[in-house]
Structure 1
Amino acid sequence: MILSHLKTFVRIIDAGSLTRAAEQLSLTQPAVTKQLAALEESFQTRLVIRQGRRLRLTPSGEVLYHYAKRILALVDQTYEAIAEIERPGQGEIDLGAVSTIAVFSLPKVLAIFTRNFPSLRVRVHIGEIQDTLDKVIRQDVAVGLVTVPIVHPQVDSVPLFQDPVRLVVSPEKAKKLPRELDLEELSHMEFISYQTPSRFRAFMDGVLEQHGIIPHVLMEFNSHDLVKSMVKVGLGVAFVPESVVAEDLANGSLETIRVKNLPPLARTTSLILAKDPPRSGGLMALLTTFFDHYQVEPRLWPPWYWETRAYEAALPWNPHQKESKERKP
């Protein structure tokens, strides 16, 4: 009964009204109202305040909403874990990622994963770094992919690869420039840049400022494709992650230029997950795919990973059956 009431409570808040929640749950509005009243009676406090047609959570309601979502997510994961034993190799797993990784790096890994585990589905949720971190902490997603290392007491962070930062120009513009710029020449360039307050823009502005360069930003965009498009037609230069322009550099539509006395720059793409996540074959298969693809050193894997592998080996379906049996910690 309490699970049903919690589900109704979360749906009321997400829907924004009792009426919409009742429609979505295929219940009558009096039934929804009764369940809300039962929760308030159980916790001996008001959970929701009605302001005209709008609903506002009380401080106690905020707490219950937070925990109710976690409880319901854990219940779903419990069903999935048991179903996985009954239906080996099947199920769904949620993954969060920032847009750069989702567009330019994730497809290759997911192609390998779906080829090896065709009965497992991955649902990808795209968001900013903080949003992805929050989803991992709440366990709304099992795995998060971000463009920086994360240090957080509730999260394990595993570095996957270094993504170098390149200064790119159009082929026509490259012909008029030396193959290696000095810092003074760079300071006179017109930049196509990412909009503030993006983390990449803040990172690059900080690096350039340390070297006495205040970039002359001609245009700002919040899209990788728009930044590249403006550079390709010769409107300026741009610092971009290599993963974003790998194909453009390969086909010659963009070229890179080195800068004297500017140290090599790179961002660390990292995989994050809760310190002690619900362990399923699907999660282990996904982690194994990432670790194998990026050749992550075993010493960097989460501490519980090997303990869980021993458990998984006893299941009817072993999520590691596709990997080399020679890999050891």
Structure 2
Amino acid sequence: MDQHLQVFVTVAEKKNFSRAAEELHMTQPSVSQYIRTFEENIGTRLLERTNKYVRLNKAGEIVYHHAKEILGLYTNMQHLVDDLVNKAKGPLSIGASYTFGEYLLPRIIANLLETYPDIHPTVTIGNTSEIADLVATHQLDVGIVEGHFKDQQLRVEEFAEDYMVVVASPNHILAKKRGVEILDLEKVTWIVREKGSGTREATEKVFHRFKLSPAKLMNYGSTQPIKEAVEAGLGISLLSRWAIQKELRNGDLNIINIKGLPFSRKFSIVTKSPFQTKALEVFLGSLRNNKMLTTFHNGKR
């Protein structure tokens, strides 16, 4: 790997030569020399320097973006070569959208590490479009998402089904009403996820299916605050059954039964490279053959 690339990326992220030198276990003059040589090779300055800060200029932003992708490709190449003679081990960077990442992934990783303790996973949680972008730029080995996104170069494999239901607080007017009608859903506040999330996409599909125009929408950035808002009686929401298991058992949320629901969507595995490390290979196998997902969707959970 070109050490100049690594030094440049570290300085850009630390925004400070001293902190970058500490991170790289180098002296500050050595870091400065690497940056000067790198800028000379590129043919222009990449960093703006003052006594208070170091930051990327326009050219630096372009180089940083591609440098991150190059470093990701190099690391993946190194792992693939190592795997030719070694068993499944080493780093595995996993991205997941909120529903899967918060409510399903922890148990799957725990089971994986019982068999493969030398795998070292790191997890990034974000909405569907964010995770797809990180996989596309080789910053994640794999993503697990729901919903759709625009990137024809990614490999997408549907592997499990998710069911989404309308939920409300037990004290909400709709939870107490017998025979909830579609028009009733328009008169109440909906608690929804932000644009770009798979849950928001599913919610908008339900709105379109039932020709709903809710009186008011409240936006939240993840599922947990949505559940708390619904429990507090602020409104209703469309959520995955995976995300509300504890709340249903404890009686904190009620499912509002509506003809035409639950809404079904797919969880998908997203990858970029056609080559897989052994660590990624066994992780993907654990997803495809996971009995927990099969049991739930056979109605036994």
The answer to which of 37-46 and 201-210 deviates more is 201-210
Which residue number corresponds to residue 215 of structure 1?
A: 214
| Superposed CA offset, 1:250-284 (max 9, x none) | 45443222224x4652332211010424x211111
Q: Number of residue pairs matched?
A: 291
Q: Which residue of 2 aligns with 1:306?
A: none
What is the identity, as a one-letter code, of the residue corresponding to 1:187? E
For normalisation by structure 2, the TM-score amounts to 0.82
Partner residue, 1:54? 53
Q: Does 1:267 align with 2:281?
A: no
User: In the alignment, is the contact (CA less than 8 A) between 1:146 and 1:270 conserved in 2?
Assistant: yes
Query: CA offset at residue 13 of structure 1?
Result: 0.8
Q: CA deviation at 1:33?
A: 1.8
Residue in 1 that maps onto 2:28: 29
**Where do residues 1-329 of structure 1 align in structure 2 (5 Å cutoff)?**
3-50=2-49, 53-171=52-170, 173=172, 176-178=176-178, 180-188=179-187, 190-194=188-192, 196-197=194-195, 199=197, 200-201=199-200, 203-205=202-204, 207-208=206-207, 211-217=210-216, 220-260=219-259, 262=260, 264-277=262-275, 279-293=276-290
Judged with a 3 Å threshold, the aligned counterparts in structure 2 of structure 1 residues 63 and 166 are, in CA distance, closer, same or farther, namely same
Seen in structure 2, the aligned counterparts of structure 1 residues 287 and 150 have a Cα distance that, compared at 3 Å, is: farther
Partners of 1:175 and 1:125 in 2: how far apart? 35
Cα distance change of structure 1 residues 51 and 256 upon mapping to structure 2, 3 Å threshold = same
Specify the code of the residue in structure 2 equivalent to 1:94. Answer: S
Q: Given residue 20 of structure 1, which amino acid in structure 2 is its aligned partner?
A: R
Distance 1:153 1:220, change over 3 A: closer
> In the TM superposition, what is the alpha-carbon distance from 1:230 to its structure 2 partner?
3.9
Give identity over the alignment, percent: 26
Q: 1:226/1:151 Cα in 2 relative to 1: closer, same or farther (>3 Å)?
A: closer
SS in 2 for 1:226: helix
- Tell me the alpha carbon deviations over residues 43-99 of structure 1, each in whole angstroms, 9 at most, x when there is no partner: 333333335533343444333323322333333334433444454232221101122
Deviation at 1:7, TM superposition (A): 1.3
Find the aligned partners of 1:287 and 1:43 in 2 and give their Cα distance: 39
The structure number with the bigger radius of gyration is 1
1 CA distance for matches of 2:234 and 2:45?
A: 59
Q: State how far apart, in whole Å, the 1-side matches of 2:39 and 2:175 are.
A: 72
Q: Would the alpha carbon gap of residues 26 and 241 (structure 1) be closer, same or farther in structure 2, given more than 3 Å must change?
A: same
Matches of 1:98 and 1:57, distance apart in 2? 30
Cα 1:144–1:201, aligned 2, differ >3 Å: closer, same or farther?
Answer: closer
Tell me how far apart the structure 1 counterparts of residues 102 and 2 of structure 2 sit (CA, whole Å): 37
* CA root-mean-square deviation: 3.0
Q: What letter matches 1:27 in structure 2?
A: M
TM-score norm. by structure 1 comes to 0.76
Over 3 Å counting, the alpha-carbon distance change for 1:175 and 1:63 in structure 2 is closer
1:240–1:21 Cα change, 3 Å: same
Superposition deviation, residue 216 in structure 1:
3.4
Letter paired with 1:164:
Y
Q: Structure 2: give runs of 5+ residues left out of the alignment.
A: 294-301
Contact 1:149 1:269 in 2 (8 A): no
Residues 1:246 and 1:63: Cα distance change in structure 2 (over 3 Å): same
Closer, same or farther: CA 22–119 of 1 in aligned 2, 3 Å:
closer
Cα distance between partner residues in 1 of 2:208 and 2:86: 56
Displacement after TM superposition at 1:104 (Å): 0.9
1:305 is aligned to none
Whether contact under 8 Å (1:165, 1:240) holds in the other structure is yes
Deviation at 1:119, TM superposition (A): 2.3
Is contact 2:165–2:241 with CA below 8 Å preserved after alignment? Answer: yes
Deviation track 1:149-171 (CA, whole Å, cap 9, x = no partner) reads: 44522210111222222112334
